Amino acid sequence: MIDYLYLISIFVFAFSFRSLLRVFFKNNIDFDTYFHLYFIEFIRNNGTINLIEQKRFIKPFGLNYPWMMHLFISFFPKKFDMLFERFFNPFLDSLFTVFLYIVTLYITESNSQALIVTILYLFTPAMFTTLSLGPRIKSFTPRLFGEIVGSMMFIFEYLYFLNNSYVFLIFAVIFAGLAYLSSKFSVQAIVFISIFLFLFTFDIEYLIVLLSGFVLSMILSRGKYLEVLKQQAQHLKWYFIRNIQGKMSVSDRNSFKISFNHLSYKRYKRFISSLLLHNTFIIILTRFPLVYLSLYLIYENYQVTSSFALLDYFIISSFLVFFISSLRLFLFIGEAERYLNYMAFFILLKVSLLFEAHSLYLYTFMAYGLIFYIFDFVLLKIRKHSSSDDELLITWLNEQKNDLKIATIPYHLGGWKLIYETKHDWLYHLVWIDLELKRHLDQNYALNYPFLNIDKAEQIMDEYSLDYIFYNKKVLNKVIGETYNIPKCLKQIQISENVFALYK
């Protein structure tokens, strides 16, 4: 019998714990968040039938992004957008925390084990830390929504195989359909992990759920999901080629050669940073160590029984996807560590008995999570007090009377915030509809993403009829070095300490 007061208490604690960062740092908004706010407003004004922006990105720009979360929020007035931006993801994750407690209680019939799974989920750094690309709690992105519906698809599949109830299989199909329409990464996660689950077990239900979920997504989108899938495939192809060429920001991930090169030149901060922020295996060790513990328990059990439990196949499948996507050739399919988040429930369930038997382990893990949480607070406070070049650029742009055509170096200077908070048009070629135009810019004017070649600023301005190109001198000097040459025919205005505007 479920104690509803217990559930309410879990929800209140989870929501308080998850949302505290945004209570104190309400204006700490990430690069991608402004895209999702802009996309909500676009859907609010245009619907989801024709997701093409003709003007704001210099060339026609494809907005064929999974839109389920955006469509839901677009039903609310725009005045609530910033409230959703701060608290929608903490609210979702708190509901999911309650769900994890309920489903663990259903499976184990143990209140203490259900509570341990809940506690482990709340205090696992990977579930809340800001030290990741597109943080799942602090940032307003569909990442968390996709992880939740994708995780629930796998959980209901697991329940189906435990009980042979087709009700659970139907729920798995529903959440698979929602996963297709929630985020591009969630599609990759449910497809890749499901393929390995099928290869291990030869249970056709894993593929049936995938196919049925796709059909459901086509029905819900009135066939438009095909355009989303097409654009995703094109983007992955582009990302793959650029990654092989070493021209993406993730191309050096897991490179011990680069890490130890920093060490040999006594660049100790960059050495530590390369390990903690750019090595997926160490990222998991520090932010989700229970992954390795669960693998050890699987190995230990296999030594005794010479077989794997159903639970083990879910964990092993996700770890194999994690491992493959950590290899340089496959870095283009996204941050490897995120695939493991879809198996968080299974990983936590696997280790819960050990933590139940040794309460000291649980208290130690909670303390570790709390220290990590405090570290995130300190980090955000440091970032808050740093100079805000973006804000000064946005302010300067909003003071201009005419509609301008602009570019930024790097793209993250101002970024999506330029589109959301100003009236100006921004050169951003990532998903231009015309692939030939996109290739032309890549080959002639782009360096490693997200940098345009500032040496060719005059040519870029001429070809795309730009009024200004803004660049961050500090970032250029740090990433590219001081070897660039700004065309002498261009004039400059200093916008902030680090940001300058080039114009004719």
Beta-carbon contacts of 185 under 8 Å, excluding residues fewer than 6 positions away, are 143, 146, 334, 338
Residue 326 and residue 338 in contact, taking contact as beta carbons nearer than 8 Å: no
- Does the pTM surpass 0.75? The reply is yes
Sign of CA dihedral 16, 19, 21, 22: negative
Tokens 């328990």 correspond to 297
3-state secondary structure at position 436: helix
How far CA 68 is from CA of 53, 72, 133, 234, 410, in Å, comes to: 19, 6, 21, 21, 30
Each residue's pLDDT tens digit in the chain (504 positions)? 678 888 999 999 999 999 999 999 888 888 889 999 999 999 999 999 889 999 999 999 999 999 999 999 999 999 999 999 999 999 999 999 999 999 999 999 999 999 999 999 999 999 999 887 778 888 899 999 999 999 999 999 999 999 999 999 999 999 999 999 999 999 999 999 999 999 999 999 999 999 999 999 999 999 999 999 999 999 899 999 988 888 887 888 888 888 878 888 778 888 888 888 889 999 999 999 999 999 999 999 999 999 999 999 999 999 999 999 999 999 999 999 999 999 999 999 999 999 999 999 999 999 999 999 999 988 888 776 455 888 999 999 999 999 999 999 999 999 999 999 999 999 999 999 999 999 999 999 999 889 999 999 999 999 999 999 999 999 999 888 878 999 999 999 999 999 999 999
- Asked if 262 and 217 touch (Cβ cutoff 8 Å), the reply is no
